[in-house]
Amino acid sequence: MMGIEKQFITKKVAVIGTGLIGGSMALLLREKNFTNFIIGVESVKSHAEQAIQLEIVDQISTLEEAVAQSDLIIVAVPVVAALEVVGQVLDLVDRQVVVDVGSTKKELCGKLATHEKRSRFVASHPMWGTEFSGPKAATRFAFSGKAAVICNQEQSDEDALELVMEMYRYLGMHLLSMNADAHDMHTAYVSHISHITSFALANTVLEKEREENTIFELASGGFESTVRLAKSNADTWVPIFRQNKENVLDVLNEHISQLRKFKASIEKENWGYLRELIEKANQINRILK
């Protein structure tokens, strides 16, 4: 590991977007000695100020300055912004490496497929997040033990892949490889549907239970954990659902079908079938234990 540290310690890192993901990566990459200098690019003035105050970055620069001064550029902006930002960064790079961290990949990879510097880009998705946003949400207690997905590896230069993979190892993540289409399908099932379910459940409770004090007083830990994701930022999630529309609709249709089974078993007092549904669901414990 010492040899690896010496190889990468001199790398200057730029983080475009200093919120939850970008900010957490910056904090940890410095703490773990992957880098000793981090440049931030932030369009929201208050976020830029917080990123400096919280020592997430060493300086705030323009996009052009950050790219010119960096070896690795991490694009950590919402997926709708990434469609433009990653291309803008690639226009500016020479041999620098560019990596994104967005939750959808197909549309981004498709748009960049013919870019003359596509090989300097690594499409990735660290599978970690919380319901919070902004630099104040950044934490050093992130990423460890989680998966980092790298998509369409064959389109990236070997040295670019090596640097990004090493970055994720420093974060304590294990690596998975898949194509962009498969990534978007799988994340719809294991991530995106969780957010829709949480949003819908929160709206159901808000619609049926008009007494806010009752919700606050009676909501158990189970309910709170289930609707935790409903606190997530709409500016982040509407573009994700838009970009992954077909996969999200597919999983949503299956989810609605499952809800109908529960509804029908209760309506018809088919308690045996309800037990079967619950016991089938219990099998998820075998996978997630």
Beta bridge partners of 240: none
Q: How many CB atoms lie within 10 A of CB 243?
A: 22
As a whole number of angstroms, the distance between CA 74 and CA 83 comes to 14
The rounded mean pLDDT for the chain is: 93
Three-state DSSP class for residue 121: strand
Residue pLDDT, tens place only, 171-207: 999 999 999 999 999 999 999 999 999 999 999 988 8
Domain 2-178: top CATH class: alpha beta
**Residue 126 pLDDT > 80, yes or no?**
yes
Question: Which carries the bigger pLDDT value, residue 144 or residue 210?
Answer: 144
| Percent of the chain whose pLDDT exceeds 70 | 95
As a whole number of angstroms, the distance between CA 156 and CA 159 comes to 8
Whole-number Cα distances in Å, 196 to 130, 173, 263: 15, 26, 19
Half-sphere exposure of 25 (CA within 13 A, CB side): 32
Residue pLDDT, tens place only, 33-62: 999 999 999 999 999 999 999 999 999 999
Q: Which CATH architecture has domain 184-288?
A: Orthogonal Bundle (1.10)
Q: Are 38 and 57 in contact (CB under 8 A)?
A: yes
Sorted by where each begins, the domain ranges of the chain are 2-178, 184-288
Q: Are 12 and 71 in contact (CB under 8 A)?
A: yes
- φ/ψ of 94, rounded to 5, equals -110, -80
